Amino acid sequence: MEKRLNSSFFASNSASIMKTTTGDWNDVFPANPLLEAPHYVYTALGGFILFFGLWSLVLKEKLHLSDAMVAILFGIIIDAPVLDPEYVFGDNLHLYVLEFTRIVVAIQCMACGVDLPNDYLWKEWKSVAMLLGPVMIVKWLVSAVGIYWIMGMSFLDALVISACITPTDPVLANSIVKGKFAERHVPLNVRLILSAESGANDGLGTPFMLLAIYLQRLPVGQAIFEWSWKVVLYQVVLASLIGIGFGYLAKRTLKKSVKRGWIDKESILSFSISLIFLTGFVSSLGSDDILAVFLAGNVLTWDGWFNERLSHSAFQEIIDALLNLAYFVFIGAVIPWSSFNSGENNLELWRLCLLAIWVLLFRRVPAVMAMYPWIPALTDRNEALFAGWFGPIGAGAIFYAHVAVIVFEYPATPILPIVYFIVLTSIFVHGGSVAFFHMSVNRTTQYSEWERQRESTAASTINDERTSLLGSTRSQSPYLLPYSLPQSVTNEAEDQP
């Protein structure tokens, strides 16, 4: 019976494929449109990555254009002539977008966790807690007020949509916290806190979104009760425990394997990326996979042992760059342009433009500026303004919007058009405004000078601690001490008489 079912399945699929064939099997060029479309995509995408690579330094360092901005522009250009997503993916388009986005966000959150030096989350827990707590709640509510007022929606619907655009996106944040421009003009403490926030908060969008959905569909008391244990305990707390446990177990296992000579260098380099298997495992449990992946990556590098083995390799950065470019080309091709001014559910272009201005100006900047005295990682108003402005909205928002549509059966309109328009605006505004901050940040201490000051201060402090007769240490700002002091500096200080 099973063989007959399988044969009938393949026969029906073969028949459907042959219906689309316009030529003979002996033709030199393939005549099946379903086979031609992927080939065009490979050609266009490969050509774009080659072209972008040849001019990447000019585009990023001279013109201050982000990878995502260039990639999404290319995706918009090839949408109709090369890649027609609705034709290629059919009714499963939203599912493909969701899973592709899940992989990209998971890898970037893992990268954020791995890149943070040693026990950074423990040392800066106050700053991280402020950004993930009060600041994130204000971002959620302020965005909801704008959606409610401008789009004319119910406040609970506005809360659902605003939950999607609340997290700071780790994919777009990479263009701010990494690269030569960031190393020269953005202080290390700002880059680290932005990286930590973007990695951690992408897994915390679910509680905000589900609270609004539960309040819509259940009585208030039942909604709060089920949200408390299903979301807060089962999704957030359980995912955190799983991520921490797997990260610790992975680190212990990897150390033992290296010590006994069981693992080669290539497998070590790919070890952190391989941990995204947690995405599938935790998702199958119905828990928060993105949060688990971030914490697993951070625990893996908690003592700095794993970072030392990655210090001379760019393998992870290469994978990130290729995946991110391909992803934003894909997103550029699936943007629902026709929905932006359809008139359905008050979807009008002027409303979306006004909402984008509201979100960019009031979602994050006022909250960070008001609360920066309680964020120790930010030392002055210039750093607070920079961190407040550069809270981009990107892949994480698209992920949560499709989760709402596919998993929680939320209507695709208006949530997808609104989220895609805000993401598109954020990519161009945040990606293009780096040049304006080039001048303002330049007036502060350059990164190279600041780094040398940190290293010299740390070295002199180690020397003072060794030579002090009273055993007292000189007080100094925690922002001048590196979180992971380079071994050469430590050796120099220890070798001094």
Residue spans of the domains in the chain: they are 35-449
The pLDDT tens digits of the residues spanning 135-160 come to 999 999 999 999 999 999 999 999 99
| pLDDT for the residue 355 | 97
State the amino acid at position 146 in one-letter form: G
Chain centre to alpha carbon of residue 152: 30
Report the predicted TM-score, pTM, of the whole model to 2 decimal places.
0.82
| Statement: residue 483 has pLDDT above 60 | no
Q: What is the rounded radius of gyration, in angstroms, for the C-alpha atoms of the chain?
A: 25
Burial category of 341 from C-beta neighbours within 10 Å (exposed 0-12, middle 13-18, buried 19 and up)? middle
Residue 390: C-alpha distances to residues 119, 136, 196, 220, 363 (Å):
24, 14, 14, 36, 11
Distance between CA atoms of residues 352 and 354, nearest Å: 5
| pLDDT for the residue 422 | 97
Q: How many CB atoms lie within 10 A of CB 270?
A: 13
| pLDDT for the residue 307 | 77
| Statement: residue 465 has pLDDT above 80 | no
Closest CA to 331 of 443, 222, 422, 213: 422
| Statement: residue 411 has pLDDT above 70 | yes
Q: Where are the alpha helices (DSSP H) in 218-237?
A: 220-226
The pLDDT tens digits of the residues spanning 339-390 come to 999 988 899 999 999 999 999 999 999 999 999 999 999 988 988 999 999 8
| pLDDT for the residue 490 | 37
Q: Architecture of domain 35-449 in CATH?
A: Up-down Bundle (1.20)
The confidence band for 447, taking pLDDT boundaries of 50, 70 and 90, is: very low
Mean of per-residue pLDDT scores for the chain: 80
Q: How many CB atoms lie within 10 A of CB 381?
A: 12
The pLDDT tens digits of the residues spanning 99-134 come to 999 999 998 888 888 888 878 888 899 999 999 999
Phi, psi of 251 (to 5 degrees): -65, -45
Judge whether 75 and 331 are in contact, CB under 8 Å: yes
The pLDDT tens digits of the residues spanning 194-223 come to 999 998 888 888 899 999 999 999 999 999
